[in-house]
Structure 1
């Protein structure tokens, strides 16, 4: 083999990997350009804030680990919203029982409850009654009840009846476990004397 031919062959073998890489890149570019577009994955249907089921004239009860009933919610119509796991109820009637056996009742035109009934917002003619001594009754157009924490609050005008005493306020927060009642805004009260023994 002549030295010129040998020198040409050596140069060719020196640049052969670069030439092959260029051909592979060109072939890859051509394949990508001419390949069909991928099929887009079907997006799951979005219900937004739409109910996934309805209930008519129903009752839902929740129990603790020992089988004791903690709460019961009844209503004329219920709608479950999966995105927030809440239950909207028309003409609601609720009953919850503490481990000590104290019963709390609640009624309203409409309610919004979380999954286990431990937090309920009551709208329209809302009444929450704690059947203990002395008996407590809260009334208003909006009441926010926390059944397990034994709290009731409202940022709207309320009426509180405790035994024979009656109070009104623009807003209220009641915590039974801490035995604290906060009345805010224009507060008025009528205290009745205790009955003679």
Structure 2
């Protein structure tokens, strides 16, 4: 067997494995490209949905009624912009009115608000104020914070920011709060301070 024949046989064997080598190189190149290119869409967002707003409302009011026709909730604002990708409504000059079947009435307002459709919550930001009118054994209660989150279905107000609560004549400050708007019960978190005026003897 001469040298030329050996070279031909060696080349024939190499051509058999050449497609495998090419596929391996392409696979490595694809893997490197996927790892190197940053994500174009944020995690958790549906890429088929438009990322920008799809509609805007001015001087709007959304109302919810129970089966008997009683108004249970109202969300209003100067303007609102809807973002379908995050299923959220961004509201300027937001105001909330809620009243449960027991008659407990709550109002809240702030400079801005974000209403998340899937989570049934509204986050109020910028001089947020919430007022629960006196009801049953619970006195008038006013809550002020930079950020308050209203959990609508749970009838709770929560905040992980500093809050100031006025409950009757008592004044509390804390670093966080969990307030049950149905019962008037509350939990203050972090460093808590209280100013309790002296009670007049009965």
Query: TM-score w.r.t. structure 1 length?
Result: 0.70
Q: Please state if 1:164 is matched with 2:169.
A: yes
Q: Please state if 1:186 is matched with 2:198.
A: no
Provide the C-alpha distance between the structure 2 equivalents of 1:103 and 1:179, rounded to a whole number of angstroms: 11
Gaps of 5+ in 2: 1-46
Match of 1:90 in 2: 92
Match of 1:15 in 2: none
Instruction: Judge conservation of contact 1:138–1:158 (CA < 8 Å) in 2.
Output: yes
Provide the C-alpha distance between the structure 1 equivalents of 2:63 and 2:119, rounded to a whole number of angstroms: 9
Instruction: Judge conservation of contact 2:134–2:140 (CA < 8 Å) in 1.
Output: yes
Provide the C-alpha distance between the structure 1 equivalents of 2:75 and 2:119, rounded to a whole number of angstroms: 8
Alpha-carbon shift at residue 71 of structure 1 (Å): 0.8
Instruction: Judge conservation of contact 1:71–1:94 (CA < 8 Å) in 2.
Output: yes
The 1:99/1:118 distance shift into structure 2, 3 A limit, reads: farther
Structure label with greater radius of gyration: 1
Structure 1 segment 120-159 matched on structure 2, within 5 A? 120-133=122-135, 134-159=139-164
Instruction: Judge conservation of contact 1:62–1:116 (CA < 8 Å) in 2.
Output: no
Alpha-carbon shift at residue 81 of structure 1 (Å): 1.9
Partner of 2:144: helix, strand, or coil?
Answer: strand
Query: TM-score w.r.t. structure 2 length?
Result: 0.68
Match of 1:37 in 2: none
Provide the C-alpha distance between the structure 2 equivalents of 1:171 and 1:128, rounded to a whole number of angstroms: 15
How many aligned residue pairs are there?
153
Partner of 2:154: helix, strand, or coil?
Answer: coil
Match of 1:74 in 2: 76
Q: Stretches of 4+ moved more than 6 A in 1?
A: none
Provide the C-alpha distance between the structure 2 equivalents of 1:190 and 1:131, rounded to a whole number of angstroms: 21
